[in-house]
Amino acid sequence: MIGTVARVMWLALLRDRGALVLAFVLPPLMFLVFAEVFSGAGESDLEMRVAVLDQAGTPLTGRIAGSIVKLDGIVAVPDASGSGPLDVGDLEALVRTGQADAAVWLRAEPDGNLDADPPVVVIGDASRGLAAAVVTGRVQRVLQSQFPTLGVARAASLVDALAGPYTEEQQDALDLALSELDAETLEQESGDTSQDGLVAQRLLGGGREIDDGVSYYAGAVAILFLLFAAMQGAISLIDERTSGIVDRLVAGPGGYTVVVVGKGLFLTLQGLAQATLIFAVAWWLYGMDWFGHFGLWLVTAFLAAAVAAWLGLLLASLCSSRQQAQTASAFVVLILSAIGGSMMPRFLMPGWLRELGWFTPNAWVIESWHGIFWRGDGPAQLATGWGVLLATALTAMVISIWLAHRLAREK
Amino acid sequence: MSQAGNEAILEIESIAFAYRDKPVLHDINLDLSPGRILALLGPNGAGKSTLIRCICGRLKPDSGRVLVAGKNPLKNAEARAATGLVPQQIALYPHLTVSENLAAFARLAGVDKKALGPAVAETIEVCDLRAVAARPAGRLSGGWQRRVNIGCAMTHSPRLLILDEPTVGIDPPAREAIESLLTRLSGNGLAVLMTSHDLTQLEILADSVAFLSEGRIAATGAPSGLIREFFGARRDCRVSLADSPGTELAASLGELGLESSDRAARHWGGLVDERSARHMQSRLPEDAPITELRVRRPGLDSLWKHLYGRDPERVA
């Protein structure tokens, strides 16, 4: 008897192609996506977009800049076809707008002068502090491995300062050793050479009162739950199909389209309320300047809620059973959220996945909110994101309504 | 609630319909006037659901036309507003109270806000739903849910009510309550089109019936008229035996025009002329182990068997 029950379930699964795909094709697919997203977070695999400004313009800084941009895992921005940053203000703008994860400013030729400011400055955004730390580490490694004399010279200067001046003989010997070292070490590792004082790190926006990650994760979590709630709410469309409510409504003058539009309106308002609650908590507990940007926040929240609502309704319109819709919606929400940056910042993902993220509403919503609260973006900077969200919501709405119309008039 | 009138509220003229290349309806002609109840009958796959979908404007007939209140329901919202559909499933929002369900479906059927309160109140009154008006629909018994299911199709005062198996799955008292409701509604001038497998119920309730067979109308008319037309004065006789009959008894039953309907030959039945029916008992051997002898006027179930060659399907 137990075997019979198992056999019945197997046959039922075997004959429901939709369920079969969801049961056996999606899990490995999901694994692949998650593996790509999360395994890319190891520091050695991270691909960083880095802007480099060689302000010193000496042969040495030119070599250092060249070495940095050739590193594996570093993508120079702007790319070779564009013009490089003109000054440090341009560098900061690239980092602030998210076009670069971090920037390297070679402001002076590194030497043994301990009193001078660090000649190399890595500029990062406080909200992506990890990116700045990773780039700093890579720049230090370049200096250690390819320019070890810089560290030795600084160490010698330190000894000179602490233990008194070198004699003439000692200084000659040191100069000779440094020149020999410089000639033979391009391909050697010199891990023990200190680079203290050569590289400094500067984080933009780090002086703000709120936690750096709050504005990012408020948006990331909000869009994740907006999508989940909208998908669950939209499944009522399927319940209404199976319960005969659709048959009843289609026979009436209003038809089924009004039902779909009504659900879209409700789910949008529900999403707006959810986003309001999340940001209210961020404002209350973390001091986020919510009211200072309320208008821009509201437009983004409305668009985010509308996208979530209509994507949910579109998915429910395409599914033929509640089970199918539940599995499919979980899959869609998890994938969109993983790729779109709701679970992990996108700058920690491989480059191709980061680009793929722009095809998710999560990325646009997170970027818009983050831009508003972190960078102080205005309507001009937000226009593209808003446009993409609006277009996505409208497209999903039109297709959902068309499917509803098709359902109502069968032939 | 409905406006009575003499003109047919539903006119079906020579419609035909095919799903892809498979013909489903052929040359269907029917009409229904206000205050009348028409029952669509037929085995599964006969075309009843397709015909109802054409009437509701969900399917476009390949030829012929359907008019509801004189208009094409496929194109005209007024025609659809004149229709109330009661699906076979309990098509209600289970978490909403009965009143809230009525109000929701009234609004979705186009009743404006000002008229909403009176429309709901009138439906509660007509369908006798006062006792459950404030209770969630999902917590009602099957019988009450069926009545609310009908009520939700009534709130916008349709002139044509279409019911698909309105009494399926409910107990006799609840069935009687629904029959009484439908009689009352048609008495108020509402045209009722219904499908049901309960032929005894339809015999009492329906003014006319239409038997569908493979997409064609096999017979249509008033139940009594059809029965008379098909069976004349013949009677439906049923004989049940305690044991399988011997050769002599089997021969006698056969001579009377009865046929056994089971392998053990313990149940016999058939249509016999009035005179034979009257003397049935005396024409059988005295020692025949008869447990039941029933003679009655043929009903719709007899007609069903005659038309389809098998007993009617039972739907619990």
Averaged pLDDT, A226-254: 87
Sequence-distant contacts of A379-384: CB under 8 A, at least 24 apart: A379/A296, A381/A97, A382/A296, A382/A299, A382/A300
Smallest CA–CA separation between A408 and chain B, in Å?
6
Q: Are A339 and A355 in contact (CB under 8 A)?
A: no
* Closest chain B residue to the Cα of A243, Cα to Cα: B91
| pLDDT bucket at A24, cuts 50 / 70 / 90 | confident
Q: Count other Cβ atoms within 10 Å, centred on residue A145.
A: 17
CATH fold group of domain B235-297: Alpha-Beta Plaits (3.30.70)
CB contact under 8 A, A409 and B58: yes
Q: Residue ranges per domain, chain A?
A: 43-204, 210-408
CATH fold group of domain A43-204: abc type-2 transporter like fold (3.40.1710)
Q: What percent of chain A has pLDDT over 90?
A: 22
pLDDT at A106 over 80: yes
CATH number of B10-228: 3.40.50.300
pLDDT, residue B120, reads 95
Smallest CA–CA separation between A247 and chain B, in Å?
7
pLDDT, residue A188, reads 43
Smallest CA–CA separation between A302 and chain B, in Å?
26
CB contact under 8 A, A251 and B57: yes
| pLDDT bucket at A119, cuts 50 / 70 / 90 | confident
pLDDT, residue A194, reads 42
pLDDT, residue A189, reads 40
CB contact under 8 A, A252 and B87: no
CB contact under 8 A, B59 and A242: no
Give the closest residue to A30 by CA, choosing from A364, A339, A375, A351.
A339
Residue B171 sits at φ, ψ, to 5 deg, of -80, 165
pLDDT, residue B294, reads 85
Averaged pLDDT, A11-23: 73
What pLDDT, in 10s, does the model give residues B153-178?
999 999 999 999 888 888 888 888 88
pLDDT at A360 over 90: yes
pLDDT, residue A364, reads 96
Higher pLDDT, A14 or A153: A14
Give the closest residue to B55 by CA, choosing from B33, B82, B21, B36.
B82
Cα first-last separation, chain B: 31
Length of chain B: 316
Averaged pLDDT, A27-39: 67
* Closest chain A residue to the Cα of B158, Cα to Cα: A252
A–B CB contacts, 8 A cutoff, strictly below = 68
CA distance A105 to A65: 9
CB nearest B87 (choices: A248, A252, A409) = A248
CB contact under 8 A, A252 and B80: yes
In chain A, which residues have their Cβ closer than 8 Å to the Cβ of B151? Answer: none
Which segments of chain B have a pLDDT < 50?
Answer: 1-5, 315-316
In chain A, which residues have their Cβ closer than 8 Å to the Cβ of B109? Answer: 252-254
Q: Residue ranges per domain, chain B?
A: 10-228, 235-297
Identify the top-confidence range among A310-314, A351-355, B276-280. A310-314
Q: What ipTM does this complex have?
A: 0.79
What pLDDT, in 10s, does the model give residues A162-209?
666 767 777 777 677 666 655 555 444 433 334 556 788 888 765 454
Chain B residues with CB-CB distance to A under 8 A?
53, 56-60, 74, 77-78, 80-81, 83-93, 105, 108-110, 152-153, 156, 162
pLDDT at A36 over 80: no
B10-228 and B235-297 share one fold: no
Strands B235-241 and B267-272: antiparallel
Q: What is the mean pLDDT of chain A?
A: 80
* Closest chain A residue to the Cα of B18, Cα to Cα: A411
| pLDDT bucket at A312, cuts 50 / 70 / 90 | very high
Question: pTM for the complete prediction?
Answer: 0.74
